[in-house]
Structure 1
Amino acid sequence: MLGLRNKTVAITRSEEDAREFFQLVSTEGGKAVAIPAIEIVSAGPEVAQKFIALLEKKKHDYCAFMSAQAVRVLFGLVGEKEVAGALKQTAVITVGPKTWQELEKHGIKADMMPGRFSSIGLVELLSKKEPKGKKIIIPRSGEAKEFAAKALSDLGIRVDEVFLYSARTAGVTPRWKEFGDLLAQKKIDAVVFTSASNVRSFFEIMGRMGAELPGGVRAISIGPFTTAELAKKGVGCHEAKDHTIKGTVEAARKLFTSRQK
């Protein structure tokens, strides 16, 4: 049984970043729509060099990459050999398989991956490794939640965060206008939200268009921080059990399959 037959599911990512999503939704018999809510703005090569310098100076025990986006931005600013050299004496952690794969594209093999693909999973992983006195560096987005840094500090880990990029709200593009028309025509069945910043930007863009998310459209969250941000907007959601794109499609499949019974 194709769980998403005749269903249209939107995701708050660009088509390029949503290739896996498109494939999975198609396999389930559905149609996918990409509506990028944010634009990535690099902090520039100076910040990337700061990351390298900190790694070489402090010799961190761990370097945690929280997203594939952080990897792409870093290698867009610094050469592979320079990054590889700086990472030689630290254990590399990736949050999620996509981040792992993105590093492998650049010749970097990660050492660890949390069981849960989120900041919570990172904290759980390191809490089991005699954390007191250890050092970690995290290259990430300027919009990142403070949870990871605080929770790791509470474990006794010394944390350095380097904000490689920021995310700004995208403009009201023709694609967004088309999405608004699909909503008005009741042709969107669900929207997958992939981060808290995507939630904020999604509703900012919707406000610019004078549009609202109809009650009949199901919201699907990739993880707890995204769920919490949706709650701030007064939107109930179905959270993916597995905090990955595959997990969100599975959540959508279960949602619509259960409604058909």
Structure 2
Amino acid sequence: MIKPLGLLDKKVLVPRGAGQAKSFSQLVEKYGGISIEIPLIAFRPTEPTDQLQTAINEIDTYDWVVFTSNVTVETFFSFYKKNDAKHFPKIAVIGKKTEEVLQEKGFTAEFVPSAYVTEIFTEEFLPMVPRGSKVLIPKGNLAREYISNSLSSHGVIVDEIVIYETYMPEDSKEKLAKVLTEGEIDILMFTSPSTVNHFVSVVKEHQLEKHIEKCVISCIGPVTEKRLREQGLPVHVSPKEYTVKEMVKSTIEYLEK
């Protein structure tokens, strides 16, 4: 059983932007923690390209659209208007939050993998798309090409289109350096490889390595965990279910031990 105040007085880094941080912070505070909101990652739509406009105009020629994140869903539907096509393809998603945001847009996912990992998604999705199928994958500029490469190698026609870019807000760099210098963080929580990269870049720039040695480090997913280890950082918590809720609960369990 998780202690009601398992994070009592612990200062926890919440690496999300204003739009996404609220539920994360509420979860931290529910268990007595103090949330330190510093978005390590932000997203902005790219300028609409001819390739994107063509894909939207010809959306009914695709068999599937694959959404790998809630940001991808939000951004895609900021470009796509329902009257742009008579028929929308079947939709495959990775992630619980991605599916929820999709439902909010009035669409239903036809395929959701048993685990929210790119490799498992690909393995389970391949039987759904026979050779010659046409798949659209909207993505961010830093997204991996694992899904598209795997599908293409099985004879699937894939259009990958970058629709948003990932960056670290400038004011976050200063704020992060300040709280680390002052020892204001007890627990670091990472939700993606990009959040790790941006965090480490600030640590190295300001030579703050010694300031994070006592921090408990938690993360979501094997790719994020791998990136942390590649950067020479320990991983104390990496839950089997890749959600913020499980990361927080698993962190409490780690602290109790």
Match of 1:5 in 2: 8
Task: Tell me the residue number matched to 1:183.
Answer: 180
Aligned residue type for 1:166:
E
Deviation at 1:53, TM superposition (A): 3.6
- Please report how far the alpha carbon of residue 206 of structure 1 lies from its aligned counterpart in structure 2 after TM superposition: 2.8
CA distance change for structure 1 residues 140 and 130 in 2, over 3 Å: closer, same or farther?
closer
TM-score, L = length of structure 2: 0.86
Q: TM-score, normalised by structure 1?
A: 0.85
Question: Does residue 107 of structure 1 match 2:106?
Answer: yes
CA contact (8 A) 1:13 1:37 kept: yes
Deviates more, 1:202-211 or 1:69-78: 202-211
- Relative to structure 1, is the Cα distance of residues 4 and 162 closer, same or farther in structure 2, using a 3 angstrom cutoff? same
CA-to-aligned-CA distance 1:117-145 (integer Å, 9 cap, x gap): 23123213214436444332211111001
Alpha-carbon spacing, 1:100–1:203, altered in 2? closer, same or farther (3 Å): same
8 Å contact from structure 2 (residues 39, 168) kept in 1:
no
Q: Which residue of 2 aligns with 1:195?
A: 192
Structure 1 residues 141 and 32, CA gap change in structure 2 (3 angstroms): same
Structure-1 residue corresponding to 2:230: 232
Distance 1:257 1:153, change over 3 A: farther
- Alpha-carbon distance change, 220 to 14 in structure 1, aligned in 2, over 3 angstroms: same
**Structure 1 gaps, min length 5:** none
Superposed displacement of residue 151, structure 1: 2.8
Q: Determine whether 1:45 maps to 2:48.
A: yes
List runs of 5+ in structure 2 lacking aligned partners. Answer: none
For residue 75 of structure 2, what is the amino acid of its counterpart? Answer: V
Identity %: 26
The equivalent residue for 1:17 is 20
The answer for the alignment partner of 1:117 in structure 2 is: 116
Structure 2 CA distance for partners of 1:169 and 1:181, relative to 1, 3 Å: closer
Equivalence for 1:74: 76
Which among 219, 222, 242 is matched to residue 220 of structure 2? Answer: 222
Distance in 1 between residues matched to 2:124 and 2:165, nearest whole Å: 26
My pick for the range that moved more, 192-201 or 131-140, is 131-140
Structure 2 distance, partners of 1:34, 1:131, is: 45
1:149 shift after superposition: 2.1
Alpha-carbon distance in structure 1 between the residues aligned to 2:155 and 2:187:
42
CA distance 1:22–1:71, change in 2 (3 Å)? same
Shift of 1:155: 4.2
> Aligned with 2:162: secondary structure?
strand
Structure 1: how far apart are the matches of 2:80 and 2:121?
A: 25
2: CA distance, partners of 1:54 / 1:248: 40
Q: CA-atom RMSD, angstroms? A: 2.3
Equivalent residue of 1:246, what SS? helix
Using the TM superposition, give the Cα deviation of residue 89 of structure 1 relative to its aligned residue in structure 2, in angstroms: 4.6
- Note closer, same or farther for the CA distance 1:106–1:182 as it changes in structure 2 (3 Å cut): same
Residue 74 of structure 2 aligns to which amino acid in structure 1?
Answer: R
Which amino acid is 2:103 matched to? E
Say if 1:166 and 1:179 are closer, same or farther in 2 by CA, change over 3 A: closer
1:65-214 correspondence to structure 2 within 5 Å: 65-82=67-84, 85=85, 88-129=87-128, 131-171=130-170, 173=171, 176-212=173-209, 214=212
Give 1:191's aligned amino acid: L
- Residues 254 and 128 (structure 1 numbering): CA distance in 2 closer, same or farther, change over 3 Å? farther
Cα distance between partner residues in 1 of 2:189 and 2:70: 18
